[in-house]
Amino acid sequence: MNSKTLACQIRKDCLEMAYLSKGSHIACALSIADIVAVLYSDILKFNPEDPKDDKRDRFILSKGHAGSAVYSALARSGFFDPEILKTHYANGSILSGHVSHKTVPGIEISTGALGHGVSIGAGMAYALKLNNKENRVFVIVGDGECDEGSVWEMALFSAQHHLNNFTIIIDKNRFQALGKCQDILKNENLKEKFELFGFKAMEIDGHSHDEIRKSLKVTSKDKPICIVANTVKGKGVSFMENDLKWHYKNPDEEQYKYALREVESEYDQ
């Protein structure tokens, strides 16, 4: 599936999951749909037949609450039957709200408490280098998540140890759980901050597949890489975009159908 088709599919799957499960975090998932789609279509090395294949790149969703986007990408990439997506959050399902490595093939690391995934990723990158391995490590982290001190501890370490096999992608949708980031903890100039910490940093449109692809292919001789992706929380569904309540709410039938049509028509253009 090319990245555009996959992104559309991810959005449709996420909407269906939120609708059926009555779970939360739909806007958080829509925000990263394009990044996840490009990762799984064009960048990550993976093997659905053998999720633990030595040659695989490591991908971690540090903002684990956006799990539905990754579950969809995994299902559509052959890791498990897409029908299972319909059971998200349900009793007896393998798909918990936050991503779980115990039950879902292809999930590298369980997250859900913010500010852990990035550091685990740095640890993997460090060990892979020690083992002279070529695999890359990619982590998606929220901009709100960057409030956590551990993110900055990770940044110090990664630069110190020249983890050039390590890329973090910041989903900069400008919202966190109780409001806009700028009203809670202003954490602006993220690109410049990571640059100062010793990363090779760049800022992109987090919904432009060309820009995402290009940035994910960037390498460095001796620096970890930080991609600040400007995104829209709820991207693709007009009434969910930049509206905090869709961090929590799930669509009713009418909203669900309307949202599906919007996502599909966007893709047709």
Partner 1 sequence: MRNAFINRLSELAKNDKNILMMAGDLGYNVLNKFYDDMPKQFVNAGIAEQNMTSMAAGMALEGKKVYTYSIANFPSLRCLEQIRNDILYHDANVKIISVGAGFGYGSMGMSHHGTDDMGVMRCLPNIIIFSPSDKNEAIRVAELSVMTKKPAYIRLGKGGEEDIHEYLEFNIGESINVVKGNKVAIFTTGPIASEALEATNILNEMSISTALYTFPTVKPIDEEIIKKCGNDFDLIVTVEEHNIIGGLCSAVAEVLAMQKNKAVLRKIGLNDTYISEVGSQKYLRERHNLCSKDIVNTVLDYINLK
Burial annotation 17-35 (CB, 10 A radius, 16+ → b, else e): bbbbbebbbbbbbbbbbbb
Interface map 6-35 toward ligand TPP (x if CB under 6 A): ----------------------x--x----
Among 99, 139, 159, 229, binds partner 1 (CB under 8 A): 99
Select the binding partner of residue 233 from partner 1, ligand TPP, none (C-beta < 5 to 8 A, by kind).
Answer: ligand TPP
By CB under 8 A, residue 84 contacts partner 1 = no
By CB under 6 A, residue 143 contacts ligand TPP = yes
CB 252 within 8 A of CB 4: no
By CB under 6 A, residue 246 contacts ligand TPP = no
CB 159 within 8 A of CB 199: yes
What count of Cα atoms within 13 Å lies in the side-chain half-sphere of residue 2? 4
What minimum distance in Å lies between the beta carbon of 18 and partner 1?
Answer: 13
By CB under 6 A, residue 187 contacts ligand TPP = no
By CB under 8 A, residue 115 contacts partner 1 = yes
Determine the 3-state secondary structure of 63 from DSSP: coil
Give the position of tokens 């909407």. Answer: 15
Select the binding partner of residue 185 from ligand TPP, partner 1, none (C-beta < 5 to 8 A, by kind).
Answer: partner 1
By CB under 8 A, residue 149 contacts partner 1 = yes
Select the binding partner of residue 103 from ligand TPP, partner 1, none (C-beta < 5 to 8 A, by kind).
Answer: partner 1
What count of Cα atoms within 13 Å lies in the side-chain half-sphere of residue 28? 30
By CB under 8 A, residue 243 contacts partner 1 = no
Task: Kindly tell me which of 31 and 164 has the beta carbon lying closer to ligand TPP.
Answer: 31
> What's the rounded Cα separation, in Å, for the pair 143 and 185?
10
Alpha carbon separation from 29 to 165, 185, 222, 240, 260 (Å, rounded): 26, 22, 32, 11, 15
Q: What is the CA radius of gyration of the chain?
A: 17
Q: By the criterion CB under 6 A, which residues form the site for ligand TPP?
A: 28, 31, 63, 65-66, 112-115, 142-145, 171, 173, 175-177, 233, 247
